[in-house]
Amino acid sequence: MTEFVRAGYAAPMSRTTYAVLSLLYMGVIYLASAQPGSAVGLPSPWDKLAHLLEYALLGFLLGRATERRGWAFALAALYGASDEFHQGFVPGREVSLWDWLADAAGAGLGSWLSARRP
């Protein structure tokens, strides 16, 4: 056991762990997006804040998994676009450019925050 662990500090998570968490979280996003429109509904502007925070977490997880902020942003933003497309097939939901822009902003924020600092 290292001094680091004995001192009560947790060991950093591996890239693989972050990748698995990213995939699981993407599944959660998909399931939430598959709910009919009446089951989900935040008033504006709170819905955009929810999109931003949702994709900030995804961008962060992907940033830690890939260790490349640009890739993390691109993957999270593309997943946000596919999520909006998917919602077009869910009763009571609609495709929204503004929602995707909030997703992309969150992806950018999360991937930027994912950078390891000395």
Query: What does the pLDDT look like over 96-106, one tens digit per residue?
Result: 999 999 999 99
On the question of pLDDT at 32 being above 60, the answer is: yes
What is the model's pTM?
A: 0.86
| Residue 81 CB partners (closer than 8 Å, separation 6+) | 100, 103
> How many helices (H) and strands (E) are present in the chain, helices listed first?
5, 0
- Domain ranges within the chain, ordered by starting residue: 14-113
Query: What does the pLDDT look like over 52-64, one tens digit per residue?
Result: 999 999 999 999 9
